[in-house]
């Protein structure tokens, strides 16, 4: 069994005869879309020398060296670091010391696995190497100490026992010496490590340190987070305080349930959509309680229109603890008159400067509330993957509940696919829009489907977008959108992105046994309906090259001829638009199938010859 599957979380079980079958499964995420989109350097080649911190002509950094990863770039700050392999973010850490962590996993600088084709490789993965630090003038009497905080797993998968996180120091002769290591373990809070530097071989003007993790090279199921690195003189073994007041966890969205929606849908009923309050989190790193003044300012990003500001408040936060602070919701109807435009409400939360802070930058944090042409429950980042275990004879379905405050048009869907080994390019599926799915006393009613789709990867930061052939007008009220994976097909275990930072209900339902069930997972599956007007699509349908075969005539009334140009007998499946197989069996090329008893409608015909799964075709029965 693949190593990554041993750490899969089994979330719900169905008793079927003598065995147990997991229906919903959470697995590691195999690529990082945020890195792919958010860094302009992503298309430039990253040299091995740069990735591994090779010696370069550069001015040494002076003391103190400090880093808490508070920037908004997803790669390390190039003024301090020589490589670009770790992921800088504020979503993978659980209760970070201050906003921003460096995440080590099995994904390279491009956000894809180091070795995407081998599932069992366990080797050195991410590296984080400092630039040169000038220590030549230091001596053992200066009491040099190096400190940092680390956390296994965070919001990802925990590193196993054979995984590890390591720290190296570089001597004056160029040798790298391991000075600290931690074996893989379960999720824990951030722990601090304090290391004295007393060996004079480290006291030179090209001193460097390097963090490295050992992990599976095909996925990111071995996750570590690093935060708050500090190197300075005049410290001691008890110097564990961070002497800082900082913003830490992500602030809340302004909406009370959705994380994003079109502005016209929001303004149709802002009282319903807005939360009563908005929140931020402040952490006190001092060894004594602190009275902290805090506030916020908000403006629309594109127009600069002021939206609101709070009254400066004060709160006492005890030593080495954090507190969530709140504000009443600001104006609900700003003067934004173009209802079909995109808007972003930027809210900056801040604390007054502390003296002397370790880092004056982390006293602010910015939250974006997006009003674009889609609806979402996720925050735009995936930490894990979600998939359904299928029964061979039944389709597998997902459906996520949304609502409209006024009539609108669904013009497509965006889906974040979790990367798989091997890649799932040939896993066909359909997207369905429902007015009801038969829960809470209703009955399933599909109003539209887009068929013969296959997954796409790394088009942009979040999703692969499918534009509907025919836009779907919908009245105000509830609707559902989701995927259907056909029975007897090759779409099993289709990975979807999962945002585990989602709090509250996920509005997800699934169906693998012929009836809809509410999801039991925590987090939001990343499927977003796109709302009109018509948008620019990444793709409409993805055509896959392959061997030619024909199903004629089409439309068909009673006899359907199957022709293919591959030698050998084949197997066919004819499924309705819900993915249910109606007819199946063996077939030879140029053989006719009797379809007279099929009800009029649209069907999907799948054909497999030998070990080759051919591209499905849509057939109309009249």
pLDDT of residue 129: 98
Residues 104 and 232 in one domain: yes
Is residue 20 a part of any domain in this protein? no
The residue among 281, 303, 300, 301 whose CA lies nearest residue 292 is 281
Query: Cα separations (Å) of 464 from 419, 430, 530, 587?
Result: 12, 14, 12, 35
Q: What is the pLDDT of residue 50?
A: 42
Whether the per-residue pLDDT at 111 is higher than 60: the answer is yes
pLDDT of residue 540: 41
Statement: residue 43 has pLDDT above 80:
no
* Two tokens, residue 600: 């009029």
225 Rama sector, left if φ>0, alpha if ψ -120 to 50, beta otherwise: beta
Last residue of some domain: 223, 240, 257?
A: 240
Q: Which tokens in the block code for residue 297?
A: 């300012």
Where is the domain boundary, 371, 403, 423?
371
Range of lowest pLDDT (159-168, 410-419, 421-430, 471-480): 421-430
pLDDT for 324 equals 96
Give the pLDDT confidence of 594-610 residue by residue, as tens digits. Answer: 999 998 888 888 888 88
Boundary-marking domain end, from 338, 371, 404 = 371
Out of 174-178, 194-198, 566-570, which region has the weakest mean confidence (pLDDT)? 566-570
Would 460 be classed as within a structural domain? yes
Place of tokens 């109606």: 582
Residues 254 and 218 in one domain: no
Band (544; pLDDT cuts 50, 70, 90): very low
What average pLDDT does this structure show over 39-62?
50
What per-residue confidence (pLDDT) applies to 393?
A: 80
504 falls in which pLDDT band (50, 70, 90)? confident
Alpha-carbon distances, residue 430 vs 85, 89, 241, 451, 498 (angstroms) = 36, 33, 54, 4, 19
Bridge pairing between strands 364-371 and 408-415: unpaired
pLDDT at residue 497 above 70? Answer: yes
Q: Is residue 14 assigned to a domain?
A: no
**Peptide bond before 422: cis, by omega within 30 degrees of 0?**
yes
- The structure tokens listed for 472 are 């779907």
Report the alpha-carbon angle 39-67-251, nearest 5.
70
- Domains: count for the chain: 4
Could you give the CA distance from residue 260 to residue 480 in angstroms, rounded to a whole number? Answer: 16
Rounded to two decimals, the pTM is 0.83
Measure the CA angle with vertex 406, ends 403 and 410; round to 5°. 65
Say yes or no to pLDDT of 12 above 90: no
Instruction: With H, G, I as helix, E, B as strand and everything else as coil, classify residue 48.
Output: helix
- Lookup: tokens for 71: 């920037």
Which percentage of the chain shows pLDDT scores above 90? 57
Tell me: do 83 and 219 sit in the same domain: yes
Confidence of residue 133 (pLDDT cuts 50, 70, 90): very high
The residue among 528, 523, 552, 553 whose CA lies nearest residue 538 is 528
Structure-token pair, residue 426: 């040939």
Note whether 268 and 409 are same-domain residues.
no
Q: Which residues contact 86 (CB under 8 A, 6 or more apart)?
A: 75, 76, 102, 103, 104, 126, 127, 128, 211, 226
What residues does 605 pair with on adjacent strands? 574, 617
d(CA 279, CA 327): 7
CATH of the domain at 298: 2.60.40.1710
**Quick one: 87 and 194 in the same domain?**
yes
- 212 domain-assigned: yes
pLDDT for residue 16: 35
Q: What is the pLDDT of residues 243-262, one digit of tens each?
A: 889 999 999 999 999 999 99
CA angle 430, 431, 437 (to 5 degrees): 115
Asked if residue 12 is part of any domain, the answer here is no
Alpha-carbon distances, residue 155 vs 117, 160, 508, 577 (angstroms): 25, 15, 20, 37
Domain assignment of residue 588, given as a range: 549-621
Question: Does residue 18 fall inside a structural domain?
Answer: no
Q: Are residues 289 and 356 in the same domain?
A: yes
Are 66 and 129 within one domain?
A: yes
Higher pLDDT, 550 or 523: 523
Domain-located, residue 23: no
pLDDT digits 0-9 by tens, 71-109: 888 889 999 999 989 999 999 999 999 999 999 998 887
Q: Is the pLDDT reported for residue 38 higher than 60?
A: no
- Is 63 in the same domain as 193? yes
3-state secondary structure 521-589: CCCEECEEEEECCCCCCCECCCCCCCCCEEEECCCECCEEEEEECCCCCEEEEEEECCCCEEEEEEECC
In terms of residues, how long is the chain?
622
In a domain, 378, yes or no: no
Say if residue 276 is in the same domain as residue 236: no
Average pLDDT over every residue of 127-150: 97
Task: Report residue 542 CA to chain centroid gap.
Answer: 23
Q: Please check the confidence at residue 469 and state whether its pLDDT lies above 70.
A: yes
CATH code at position 181: 2.60.120.260
Beta partners for 585?
A: 572
Residues 438 and 483 in one domain: yes
Supply the pLDDT for residue 421. 61
Q: 505 and 441, same structural domain?
A: yes
Asked if 228 and 252 sit in the same domain, the reply is no
Residue 576 — very low, low, confident or very high, per pLDDT cuts 50/70/90? confident
What is the average pLDDT value for the chain, to the nearest integer? 85
């Amino acid at each position: 069994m693949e190593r990554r599957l041993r750490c899969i979380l089994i979330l719900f079980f169905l008793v079927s005869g003598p065995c147990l079958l997991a229906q919903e499964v959470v697995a590691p995420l195999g690529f990082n879309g945020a890195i792919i989109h958010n860094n302009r350097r992503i298309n430039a080649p990253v040299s091995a020398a740069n990735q591994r911190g090779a010696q370069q002509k550069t001015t040494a950094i002076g003391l103190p060296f400090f880093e808490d990863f508070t920037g908004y770039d997803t790669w390390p700050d190039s003024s301090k670091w020589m490589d670009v392999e770790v992921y800088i973010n504020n979503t993978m850490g659980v209760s970070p010391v201050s906003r921003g962590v460096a995440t080590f996993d099995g994904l390279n600088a491009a956000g894809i696995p180091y070795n995407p084709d081998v599932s069992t490789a366990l080797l050195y993965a991410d590296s984080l190497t400092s630039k040169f630090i000038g220590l030549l003038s230091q001596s053992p009497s200066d009491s040099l100490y190096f400190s940092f905080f680390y956390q296994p797993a965070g919001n990802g998968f925990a590193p196993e026992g054979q995984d590890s996180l390591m720290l190296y120091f570089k001597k004056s002769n160029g040798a790298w010496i391991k000075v600290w290591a931690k074996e893989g373990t379960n999720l824990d809070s951030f722990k601090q490590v304090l290391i004295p530097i007393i060996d004079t071989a480290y006291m030179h003007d090209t001193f460097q340190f390097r963090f490295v993790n050992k992990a599976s090279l095909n996925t990111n199921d071995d996750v570590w987070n690093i935060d708050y690195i500090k190197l300075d003189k005049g410290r001691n073994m008890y110097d564990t305080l961070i002497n800082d007041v900082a913003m830490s966890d992500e602030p809340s969205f302004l909406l009370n349930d959705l994380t994003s929606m079109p502005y016209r849908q929001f303004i149709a009923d802002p009282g319903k959509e807005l939360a009563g309050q908005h929140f931020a989190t402040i952490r006190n790193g001092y060894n004594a309680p602190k009275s902290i003044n805090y506030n916020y300012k908000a403006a629309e990003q594109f127009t600069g229109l002021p939206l609101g500001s709070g009254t400066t408040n004060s709160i006492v936060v005890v030593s080495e603890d954090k507190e969530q602070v709140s504000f009443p919701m600001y104006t609900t109807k700003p003067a934004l008159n173009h209802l079909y435009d995109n808007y972003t409400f930027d809210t900056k939360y801040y604390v007054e400067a502390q003296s002397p802070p370790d880092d004056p930058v982390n006293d602010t944090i910015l939250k974006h509330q997006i009003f674009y042409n889609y609806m979402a429950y996720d925050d735009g980042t995936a930490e894990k993957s979600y998939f359904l275990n299928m029964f061979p004879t039944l389709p597998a379905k997902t459906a996520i509940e949304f609502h409209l405050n006024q009539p609108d048009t669904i013009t497509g869907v965006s889906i974040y696919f979790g990367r798989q080994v091997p890649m799932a390019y040939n896993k066909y599926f359909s997207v369905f829009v429902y007015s009801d799915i038969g829960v809470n006393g209703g009955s399933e009613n599909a109003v539209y489907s887009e068929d013969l789709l296959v997954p796409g990867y790394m088009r942009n930061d979040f999703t692969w977008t499918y534009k509907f052939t025919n836009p779907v007008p919908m009245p105000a009220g509830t609707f559902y959108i989701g995927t259907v994976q056909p029975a007897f097909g090759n779409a099993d275990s289709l990975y979807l992105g999962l945002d585990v930072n989602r709090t509250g209900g996920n509005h997800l339902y699934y169906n693998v046994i012929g009836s809809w069930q509410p999801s039991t997972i925590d987090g939001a599956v990343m499927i977003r309906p796109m709302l009109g007007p018509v948008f620019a699509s990444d793709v409409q349908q993805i055509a896959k090259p392959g061997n030619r075969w024909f199903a004629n005539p089409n439309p068909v009334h009673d006899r359907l001829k199957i022709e293919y140009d591959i030698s050998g007998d084949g197997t066919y499946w004819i499924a309705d638009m819900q993915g249910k197989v109606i007819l199946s069996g063996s077939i030879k090329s140029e053989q006719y199938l009797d379809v007279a008893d099929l009800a009029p409608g649209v069907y999907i015909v799948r054909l497999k010859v030998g070990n080759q799964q051919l591209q499905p075709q849509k057939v109309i029965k009249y």
